[in-house]
A and B are shown apart, each in its own frame.
Chain A
């Protein structure tokens, strides 16, 4: 049987592209021309909205937004972790242009560092408090990033993609089969973050996911401010130049290897932080938390949102993680949509790549780079 794919003709594609472009440009124009205070007020409103979101008194009025098949605040926590990771991966993929297929491996390093150093099921029984281990987890993740990056980032091309893919798989296999990492049985009683209310009850407990979500949300804001400052500095210029043309960057005196390694390590550190937060909330870490697919999902989220753009990464990470959870509990012809989540997800990505390869909210430069590359391809043909 043959199937014909009805690919849209170029004119239609152009027209659709143009319409999308105009829509976004209109929004961007308004945003940039709005007075400063308007922008601040809007931004504050968005932030307040997301802080208020996990409260039932608030989200019950939001129609179809809360997830029917899962506890909405739990879902929000998961989504926030994905957003944090998307922001981190965006530094690696979006700013420095490095293809990291094993980003979730760093998340695992962060989570397992916390597990091993805090859990009573760990062989070494250090039983340190969570807060003390977080910086250790971040540092260890950065070190593993540097160790992975040092031999590979000197090479051009697809080596990095392969090595990172191998790294994530290696971590997963170690988690499954090494007695030290406890496989499926995992680590339990991982301590929660510290802090208690005035009545003595802990802020970070087992049942209420909201404090964790608020913590991650706050960290996302801090990280985004940090990344923004970085991208507007010499470091950011160096990253962008490497992404646009590595040889030219080197010819302008940019120490390309050093900056690639920095981007890689910074991204790894953020994933390590996410892993530590996850372990501190979940209380339990085992080998099932680290499927390879997760790396691909985050990468897809960044590309989907528009790599190179912080807002794009946030929207991409948020939407993708949310959509996956939203499918839970919805039945169609007797099957749960959740079972087919990756199929939908794949379809959406394919459609995106056809109509909008630069992502939902592309960055101005990125669009030009894509055009430039397309031109090069046509010249070469």
Chain B
């Protein structure tokens, strides 16, 4: 088991955002976490990446208890998150942003190789390598966030709503790339409101409702589950 979350609760001051959630991610999988706005998806990500301390419960990663480990050390262990929304460095160029992704690494040859890989995955970024992050379009920023996280060569890549605010064609493109990254050997935990796409691509998935996991199963099972269909796959 690569990631194991056991009975984790998290508080924002007095507000309890997570009520004892448990989930697992196996090596090689794409696991999706879906749920409505405010369900606690980003909060779960923050607990895993360590930028918010948990109130109770355990988090294990690659056989090690990381519940109390500092966020930056988790990155060194191979856990990297592309943050939700505009989480890129606006004043840095595309290349400088990608370089920040490799902040914890010192193997120059490996970094250069991964840079090539990311620029191949995202030709748009290659065209704009000298452009400042803040001047990119929303979709390009989203790609930059994913590419930057990949630059740390993570064992587990955490993606928080990579399709948010994108045009339908770009959404398609970004999900294709996610599958591609996974096929190249990176395990992925994917948070999405776009449940249709996420479930179709994921091996397994969890449904989060007001800070509790209410359902889990394979992507296909949930895709055809009547209650999931009702709540999250609204026939638009």
Contacts and interface: CB of A to CB of B under 8 A. Distances in A.
Interface stretch (A81-89, A200-208, A238-246): A238-246
A251 B91 contact: no
Assign chain A's interface to a size class: 20 to 34
A247 B89 CA distance: 10
A366 B83 CA distance: 21
A241 B100 contact: yes
From DSSP, what is the main secondary structure of chain B's interface residues?
A: mixed
Given A251-B51, A253-B152, A241 B71 contact: no
B92 A252 contact: no
B75 A251 contact: yes
B76 interface: yes
A376 B137 CA distance: 14
A238 B89 CA distance: 11
A239 to B, nearest CB: 12
A119 interface: no
Contacts, number: 89
Contacts of B135: 368
Contacts of A376: 86
Contact of A253 (B92, B103, B133, B134): B103
A248 B134 CA distance: 14
Contacts of A241: 89, 92, 100, 103
Main secondary structure of the interface of A (DSSP, over half): helix
A368 to B, nearest CB: 4
A48 to B, nearest CB: 34
A238 B81 contact: no
Given A252-B148, A253-B75, 14 more contacts: A240-B91, A241-B103, A244-B90, A247-B83, A248-B87, A248-B88, A251-B81, A251-B149, A252-B104, A253-B80, A253-B152, A254-B72, A364-B132, A366-B91
30 contacts: A234-B103, A237-B96, A237-B99, A237-B100, A241-B89, A244-B89, A245-B89, A247-B51, A247-B87, A248-B83, A248-B87, A251-B81, A251-B82, A251-B149, A252-B80, A252-B148, A253-B71, A253-B103, A253-B152, A254-B72, A254-B103, A365-B92, A366-B91, A367-B91, A368-B135, A371-B90, A371-B134, A372-B134, A375-B134, A376-B86
